Amino acid sequence: MLKALLDIGFLIASVGLIFGLKRQSDPATARSGNMLAAYSMIAGIIMALVYPLDVEGSLDPVGFGYILVSLAIGTFIGIRSANKVEMTGMPQLVSLFNGLGGLSAVLVGYVELLNLNKDAESYYSQAGSTIFALVVGAIAFSGSLLAYLKLDGKLKDSQVAVKGHQYINYALLAITLVMIAVVVMSGANNVMVSILLVISLIYGWSFVAPIGGADMPVVISLLNSFTGLTAAAAGLIYGNQFMLLGGILVGASGTILTVLMCNAMNRSLWNVIAGNFAGSGSSAAAGGPQGSVREASAADTGVMMYYAQKVVIVPGYGLAVAQAQQYVKQIYQILSDNDVKVVFGIHPVAGRMPGHMNVLLAEVDIPYDALLDLEEANEELATSDVALIIGANDVVNPSAVEDQGSSIYGMPVLEVWKSKNVVVMKRSMASGYAGIENPLFFKPNTQMLFGDAKKTLADLVSELKNL
C-alpha cells in the first residue's frame, strides 16, 4: 500500500515539476511556475525521506536525524541567500549553488563507488552511473567554484589562465578518461577513486580557467547541465525516478541553452567542453584610444530620444550593477506616451548569466513583446533613430564584425552603429569584461554619456519630463 502511494506521489510531483518548468517559459506565468516546481520538489524530497519505510520497514533514527539537520541547514542558507543577495550578485549565487549540487553528486558517487561489488552481475552498469556522478560532479563543483570567484572579482583571468591552456585541458581530459577505465577494470579502491576525484577536480578548475568576458554565461549554463546530469545519475544509483526525471530535465534544458548560446556567439560546443574560449587574436585594450570621442549631455540625449520615431535600448551588466531598471521603465513609459516606438535589444550573453537582462527588465514590468532577440533587434537598429546603450560593451563591439584579428571576431553582436545616433552610457572609457578596445566609441555617429548609470538615467528622466 505504501509503495503504491509513493509511486502515485512521485508521479504527481514529476508532473508538477514538468508543468512548473513549462510555465517558466512565459514571463506572465513564470512566478507561479517557479512556485509549482519548488513545491513539487519539496513533495519529492518528503517522499524520498519516507521511502526507506517501504524498502526496509523502518527508519534509522540516527541517519534520519542527520538528514533532517542537513535539510534544515540547507533550507536556512537557501532562504537567507535568496533574501540577502542582490540581483547583481545573482550570477555568483547561481554558480555557487550549482557547484554545491555537483559536490553532492561527488559525495554520493564516492561512497557508492567504494561499496560496489566487482563480482556482481550489474557491476559495470552500476560503476558507469556512479563514476559518471563522481567525475562530472567534481568538474561541475570545481568549475562552478572558479566561475564564482571570477564573477565576484576575487580572481582575474590572468591569474588562472596560461598560454596554450586548451592543450592542458586536452591532456587532463585524456588522463581523466584513462583513469575512469582503470578504476572500472581494476575495481574501485580508496586510492584509485581518490586519484580519479582529484584529477576531475583539477580538470573542472582548468576547464573554466581560460573562460572570461561574454563567454561566462555559456559556461554557467553548461555547468548547470552537468549538475543536472549528475542528479540523473544519482537517481539511477538509488532507483529514484523523481530524481532521475528532474536531473534529465535540468541537464537537457541546460544543454539546449548552451548550444543556442554557442550558436549566438559563433562557438562550437566542443570548444566549450575543451575550455577553448580564449581567442588568439589581438584582443588587448592596451592599444590606446583610436580617435576622439564626442560627449553628450542628459539634456541633449533627452531631446534626441523624445523627438525620435524609434528608439532601441540595449541594456548590459552596467545596468544590473547600478540597479537602475526602474528609471529605464520610466523612460520607456514617457517615450511610449509620446508615440515613440521603444524596443529593447537583448543579447543572449548580456550580463553574467543566461537571461540576466530579461530578469532585470521583467522586474519592473517591461512588456515582454518589447524585448527583442539578437536578430530582431538588429533589424530594428538598422531603421532606428537612436540606440541607447546602458552599461553594455562587448556585445556591441563592432570588432566582432570588422576586425579579423580581434579575439571576438565572428561573434554575433548587436549592430548598434547602424542606428542614426548612438548614445553610450558608461562610467569611463575602460574596456569591457573581455578586456578589448571598443571602436564603437570613436564612430562619427556615437556620443558618450559619462557618469553613474543610476544618476545619469535619473537626470535623463527629468529632462524627458520637462519636454
**Per-residue pLDDT at 82:** 81
**Per-residue pLDDT at 214:** 59
Residue 242 predicted with pLDDT over 80: yes
Enclosing H/E stretch for 345: strand 341-345
Q: What is the mean pLDDT of the chain?
A: 86
Residue 145, SS3 per DSSP: helix
**Per-residue pLDDT at 49:** 84
Q: Is the dihedral of CA 230, 234, 235, 237 positive or negative?
A: positive
Active site residues: 394
Q: What is the pLDDT of residues 152-163, one digit of tens each?
A: 878 877 777 777
Residue 61 predicted with pLDDT over 50: yes
Contact 323, 454 (CB under 8 A): yes
Find which of 270-284, 286-300, 398-412, 424-438 is predicted with most confidence, using mean pLDDT.
398-412
Residue 347 predicted with pLDDT over 80: yes
- 189: pLDDT confidence band, cut at 50, 70 and 90? confident
Q: What is the pLDDT of residues 78-93, one digit of tens each?
A: 888 888 887 667 788 8
**Per-residue pLDDT at 210:** 81
- 42: pLDDT confidence band, cut at 50, 70 and 90? very high
- Provide the grid cell at 308: 525620435
**Per-residue pLDDT at 434:** 54
- The Cα–Cα gap between 392 and 347 comes to 10
Residue 394 predicted with pLDDT over 90: no
CA angle 436, 439, 442 (to 5 degrees): 135
- 331: pLDDT confidence band, cut at 50, 70 and 90? very high
Q: What percent of the chain has pLDDT over 90?
A: 46
Q: What CATH number belongs to 298-466?
A: 3.40.50.1220
Say if strands 386-390 and 371-372 run parallel, antiparallel, or are unpaired.
Answer: unpaired
Residue 430 predicted with pLDDT over 60: yes
Global pTM reads 0.79
272 vs 406: which has the higher pLDDT: 406
- The strand order across the sheet containing 446-450 reads 371-372, 341-345, 310-315, 386-390, 421-426, 446-450
- 218: pLDDT confidence band, cut at 50, 70 and 90? confident
**Per-residue pLDDT at 355:** 80
